[in-house]
Amino acid sequence: MSRIAILEKDKCQPKKCNYACIEYCPGVRMEEDTIIISEDDKKPEISEELCSGCGICVNRCVFNAINIINLPEVLDDKPIHRYGPNSFELFGMPTIEDGSVVGLLGPNGIGKSTILNILSGQIIPNFGNYNEEGSWDNVIEYFKGSQLQNYFKKLSNNEIKIAYKPQMVDQLPKVVKGKVSQLLEGVDERNKLDEVVEKLELKNTLDRRLGNLSGGELQR
């Protein structure tokens, strides 16, 4: 088994715990740099080479910000994308093809959002080199001979257009102002407004402002 230490930086609050993970780490007590303080954000950084996976830092972290995950050896291959040190790694992509529908199912934290961000072009895979920006040329070469190669080639050349629904629809009124009719008319590129309004039963909402819609109406 290999392992990866994941630190959820939004949960980590070293000023309140005084770096308990470092204080109780057996490696640090043996004068190893198993956990150090990052110069960038002053938060802990766990060495995956030195970490023994004992789990003491996990248990001592009062904010539940640390996880030590064991990985099968087959995942020692180059990851598709990694966010940074002590951060999530993605090791695979789904197979997609023209005219098909692909669903992503699984528990939280396995990479569904990362996959969608890659497929939508919001993230360019870095193949584990998180200190460098991802390159479409590298992505296209990596997926050579697969359906994804053609997909990413079209995506990088703006030959296909991505449409997706925001996950937190309750935030829409904060970024989009005006009436529902104004919003829909502004994005009606295929002249399908009347058809969509009928199918999604939006007629009664057209003259209302987004801030006055219910959660279900925002979803539609």
For residue 75, the model assigns a pLDDT of 52
CATH of residue 8's domain is 3.30.70.20
Contact partners, residue 57, CB within 8 Å, separation at least 6: 20, 21, 24, 25, 35, 46, 66, 68
Q: Please give the DSSP secondary-structure letter assigned to residue 78.
A: P
In a shared domain, residues 71 and 124: no
User: Which 3 state secondary structure label does DSSP give 112?
Assistant: helix
In a shared domain, residues 152 and 173: no
- List, for residues 159-218, the tens digit of each pLDDT value: 998 887 777 888 888 888 889 999 899 989 889 999 999 999 999 999 999 889 888 888
For residue 74, the model assigns a pLDDT of 45
pLDDT of 70 over the 80 cut: no
Q: Note whether residue 118 is domain-resident.
A: yes
In a shared domain, residues 137 and 101: yes
Which pTM was predicted?
A: 0.61
| Number of independent structural domains in the chain | 3
pLDDT of 1 over the 70 cut: no
- List the one residue out of 210, 218, 125 whose CA is nearest residue 174: 210
Enclosing domain of residue 32: 2-76
Q: Note whether residue 17 is domain-resident.
A: yes
Token pair for 157:
């050349």
6 pLDDT tier (thresholds 50, 70, 90): confident
In a shared domain, residues 6 and 72: yes
Average confidence (pLDDT) over 25-35: 92
- List, for residues 48-64, the tens digit of each pLDDT value: 778 888 889 999 999 99
